[in-house]
Amino acid sequence: MRPHIPAGLLIALLLGLTSQIVQVVLLRELLMVFHGNELSIGLIFAAWMAWMGLGSYLGGTISSRYARTANLLRASAVGLLLTLPVTIVLIRELRNLIVVPPAAQLSLLDIAISSALLMAPACLFMGMHFVYVVKLWREADKSTDSSATGKTYISEALGSALGGIIFTTFLIHVLNPLQTVAAAALVLLLVVLLSQGLIRSRPWIASVGFAVLVGIVLALMVPLDQWAHNRHWQHFLPRHELLDMRPSKYGNIAVVRYADQYTFYQSGQLVFSTAGADELRPGWEAQDSVAFAHLAMVQYKDPQRVLLLGGGLGGTLGEITKHPVTAIDYVELDEVLLQAARPHLPAATLDALADPRVRLLHGDARLYVKTAATEYDLIIVDLPDPATAVLNRYYTKEFFAEAASLLGPNGVLVLHSSSTPQLHRTAVANRNAAIYHTLRSVFEHVVVAGDRVLVYIASQDGQQPNVDPVVLRQRYEERGIVTDGFAGSHFHTWLEPTSVRRVNWILRNHGRTATAHLTGPGPQPLLPGSLEEQALQEAELPSVHQRYFINSDFKPIGYFYTLMLWDDITRPFHQSILPMLLHARSWWVLPVAAVPLLLMLVVVLGIHRQTSNQRALRRVGIRLAVLTTVLTTGMSTMMLQITLLFAFQSVYGFVYELVGLITAFFMLGLAGGAWLAHRSLVRRFSLSMLAVIQLLMALVCLVLWLGLPVIVTLRSPAFLFGLFAAVTATAGLINGVDFPVAAACYTALHRQPEKSAGVIYAGELFGACISAALASTVVVPIFGVGAAFLVAAGVSGIACLLLLIARRWSYA
């Protein structure tokens, strides 16, 4: 008996649901292998879009030549089922496949190539499946226009939104990644089989049998998932033993052991190391934390209220509790990390966590600083280097301003970053100079000390940032502190005067020329002046180069430099692409943008010469305008998605858990827009409507360019989330209206519905592919979020102009 619900609707819904779940799972898996590097998000999306587009194009070609749609649907569903588990296993085996040295990060080229290769099989099948569903629906409706394309597009978008919601609220909590993708693919295959009437005899019995099969497959995925995790860590840290792996809404927590050392990773990013519960004295892992904690605590003569952001589990919290303070607010992002760490923490850290003066707060530290009303004497930031966009948020101008607002009149902010002796290497000099200049843009007084690790001390009070070892030793010893592995004499080692003067001179002077980011620090004086003399001379120095040496939420250049640094350190003989990207200039986009305009100019000139093939030239011009529109729509909407993800992350601190929900908002808007277009415009050849859509997209981008910096300063997290959801859904709505109208125009030109659907879908995805790669690797980190909005507005404006030119010919 045929189902009452159209087969095309069911299959399209399940395709969207499966596609969205697979996209989020693969994104999370790849982010773990890529150490949480958000530059990779755009490259992953680019690979996804490119292969989906190619699959769509191939699907259009195949379906136009092969009549049996049911066989094509079954083949693509089976192919997807067989491909997905293998893809996840290969992702975790990736470090072995491309021979990356242990603990080294993958280069940008490694990320691009591996994302492209790993995404190919699954995305090809899903892209082809879309076109096959279009053909199935068109055959059922017996239509010859693009209505089936619109209905498939709407249904798939709704399924994608549903998939994002189901994954975020349910699947992430109950199934491992291999189980999740296998279950999604199995359900899609079942619906294909049922809808095609291949299970006619006793369908309920067949369905129960299929459910048993699903259970068996899910059970088999449990040991396979654990085996694949072990393989990944064997290649990443060959001498370490994987003790524990726990899912968290902020990323997978991994606990590994080497001898008596325990190391904790979150989504492949090092969090901290500890000597273990049996050690009575701090191990070498904790020495830096001990020294940093005491150097920070003696910056204030009599601190009472202290705010510690991160680092508590690595030993810093235990050392702070040894000082006579009244209250310590300790913000740690992930409660799951603490649960995983407790069995392996030293007794001193456990005692510190139980100290009645300590208030443990779980959540995003940046969001806490943004919304807190407490005044502190000291704010201590003990977090890893800004190697990801999430961590970079604690080294930006916006964060420093928020922290300054919580400090009392004499309050001090203290943070640290890794370095090299005399700031050797351009990347480390750029990154640390960017931190210094960014601090100076907020605080009146900033002093830096250290060698292998730099400690930044900032205050509005000139008496507080203090690097005099005699004064600091006196404060330390007056408090009667006794700790293993540290004494007051260590301040003289840490704060050797010549070294302190030289480090401060380099950081003050670097970043004040147009090419400083490319060449590194210039010649240094043999004996730099005192810090007081340097401070007086700083006013006479040239201005700091803002683009490359002021780190902000919307221009995260510090994060880019950190990736350059770790790429340089961990793979010194590997040619990195990152330094080359620093040569990029904003005007480089103009020649690329001029290509469609030049092509249209050729068409216009040909028509005005009164040639015999004017009609053919007009069709070429219309086709060029439509295809450019599809391409630019994909570019502008993906640019908005990537940019809004960065902006969302700057406020909330993570997208790992909510990436499915954020995408769901976009897909809901997409489905709504496609439905509106399908209801009123699907059978109309309307270049005017396409032009209006492009104009609206350009206006939305310009409004965001002007308004987003103001929006993110709002203090209500719920209100901010609602705004981000509304903006994301609006971008999807415009994209959704565009697709059916463009498909109708292109089908009217070619009269081949499936092939037209494949070309239009492929064009949109290829535009998104280009935009995703450019937005995450160049435009946002180097030129900023505002530049991304302007690029998106510009490409939409070009498409609008081409459509207005072509509109005259559609009436001829």
3-state class of 244 per DSSP?
A: strand
User: Contact at 8 Å (CB) between 20 and 160?
Assistant: yes
CA–chain centroid gap for 56, Å, is 26
Length of the chain: 812
State the DSSP code for 269: E
Other residues' Cβ atoms within 10 Å of the Cβ of residue 461: 16
The CA distance from 149 to 682, in Å, is: 9
- Which token pair is 298? 């003696």
Backbone φ and ψ for 266, nearest 5 degrees, come out as: -125, 115
The CA distance from 46 to 51, in Å, is: 9
The CA distance from 788 to 364, in Å, is: 26
Q: Check if 260 is active-site.
A: no
3-state class of 93 per DSSP?
A: coil
- CB under 8 Å to 696, separation ≥6 — which residues? 734
Catalytic residue, from 329, 377, 382, 738: name it: 382
Backbone φ and ψ for 399, nearest 5 degrees, come out as: -65, -45
3-state secondary structure 280-340: CCCCHHHHHHHHHHHHHHCCCCCCCEEEEECCHHHCHHHHHCCCCCCEEEEEECCHHHHHH
User: Contact at 8 Å (CB) between 130 and 152?
Assistant: yes
The CA distance from 351 to 315, in Å, is: 11
Is 717 buried (19+), middle (13-18) or exposed (0-12) by CB count in 10 A? middle
E strand or H helix that includes residue 117: helix 108-141
- CB under 8 Å to 151, separation ≥6 — which residues? 8, 9, 12, 137, 678
- The residues assigned a catalytic role are 382
